[in-house]
Amino acid sequence: MNLIDTLNWRYAAKRMTSEKVSDEKVIEILEAINLTATSAGMQPFRVLSISNQEIKQKLQEASFNPQVSESSHLLVFASYTHVSQAQIDDYMSLVAKTRNIPVESLNDFKEKLSGFLSMPEDFVRTWAAKQAYIALGTAIVAAANLKVDSTPMEGFDNAAFDEILGLKEKGLQSAVILALGYRNEEIDPYAKVKKVRLPLDELTITLN
């Protein structure tokens, strides 16, 4: 299947069966998330991969979307609530180690990133959440590529999720979630309906 056929195949599954997605496929989706482009390459989010049914059941109480507990794995994209000097230093060390260069050669880059330390908290939270959403898009495409269904969801109680998952203590907050699993065609009316999209020439503004 080419990419467009794959994207036509995918839809936001409203109901899922209890069939498990293999570890191999979940790892590939997580690897794709890890390869997502992010602002300054900072990756200011973490991804919780939850297959534990008890935890999913608890989270289900904080969401009207049945996919939370029907999923095989629930991915919670949790973004930074702030950027610290230690995080910037860790990132610089990672760049230096990965590229085998002296960490001092990154001083200008480090200086630029230090701007985050004095940014208003709201700005940092919004910026970090935006990066998590880019990763969400990558995950949706990666899942479809493996013929795994997925549902992106904002319909959940963020504060309750943060509390249940202990995200605040980790300097994180839930941004968006993605259910991974397999569509339940028997009870999901959306499984067979046509995709609704704008004509391409209405979506696109071409300036030649």
- Contacts with ligand FMN by CB under 6 A lie at 11-12, 14, 65, 151-155, 176, 195
Answer for the pair 98, 104: CB distance below 8 angstroms, yes or no: no
What is the nearest approach in angstroms of ligand FMN to the Cβ of residue 63?
Answer: 8
* Minimum distance from residue 125 beta carbon to ligand FMN (Å): 16
Output 92 or 153, the one with its CB closest to ligand FMN.
153
Report in angstroms how near the CB of residue 143 gets to ligand FMN at its nearest: 12
**83 vs 176, beta carbon nearer ligand FMN:** 176
Nearer Cβ to ligand FMN, position 196 or 207?
A: 196
Using CA atoms, how far apart are residues 13 and 63, in angstroms rounded to an integer?
15
Report d(CA 51, CA 21) in Å as an integer. Answer: 10
Burial status of residue 158 (CB atoms within 10 A of its CB: 0-12, 13-18, 19 or more): middle
CB of 153 to ligand FMN, least distance (A): 4
Q: 19: helix, coil or strand?
A: coil
Residue nearest to ligand FMN (CB): 155
Record the tokens describing residue 96, joined without a space. 């230096």
| Angle, helices 158-165/53-60, rounded to nearest 10 degrees | 150
Give the pair of three-digit tokens for residue 135. Answer: 């990763």
Q: Which of residues 112 and 195 has its CB atom nearest to ligand FMN in the complex?
A: 195
